[in-house]
Amino acid sequence: MSIFVKPVPAPTPKTKDVRRVALFYAGILVVMAVAQLFSFEDFLKLVTDFGFPGGTQFAYFLAAYLVTVEVFALPFLLRMSLSVAFRWLSMVAGWLVAFIWTVITVWLALHNGAVNNVGFLGTVVETIPGWWALFLSLALGILAAWASWGMWPCQRHSKRVAKDVR
């Protein structure tokens, strides 16, 4: 028995479409994370301007956590060899990205403030807040669910029982 964690290959996806969906979602997350990190100081100010309860400290935490979760979602989506625990963590990170963006876009849609940018692409490209941003974050949730369904980290057991042939 070894105390060291051993990476295992990713399970075989259920369909070919799952691979495409996972790569598409990974591409979106890479573009978002790079754009947010490129202008991270301005991104911190933007998230502070959203007016979340908790003030500047919560806004800074949320911005840093969001970028971190976007990066941690990539290994699962790219089907890298990972330990079982990290595969689960990476899959949940993909769900958290969609959830956090949904909360942010609902907040911005309900609180019409002086914010001109949602922040999907940091402050590099301005994305205007509105209901379309909510639909985009819900689409991220659909992509995360589809990728998780098709590349579930657990072993799949066949429901069919082999008949004993004698």
| Nearest partner of 33 among 8, 5, 63, 70, judged by Cα | 70
**Contact partners, residue 112, CB within 8 Å, separation at least 6:** none
Residues 133, 120: contact at Cβ < 8 Å?
yes
Q: Give the pTM.
A: 0.86
**Using alpha carbons only, what angle is made at residue 49 by residues 110 and 27, rounded to the nearest 5 degrees?**
80
Dist. CA 160–CA 63, nearest whole Å: 47
The confidence score (pLDDT) of residue 58 equals: 95
Give me the phi and psi of 8, to 5 degrees please.
-120, 150
At 140 the pLDDT is 96
Contact status, residue 137 vs residue 105, Cβ threshold 8 Å = yes
pLDDT at 157: 55
Coil, strand, or helix at residue 157? Answer: coil
In this prediction, residue 115 carries a pLDDT of 83
Tens of pLDDT, residue by residue over 100-118, are: 999 999 999 888 767 888 9
Residues of the chain with pLDDT under 50: 160-162, 164
Q: What is the pLDDT of residue 9?
A: 86
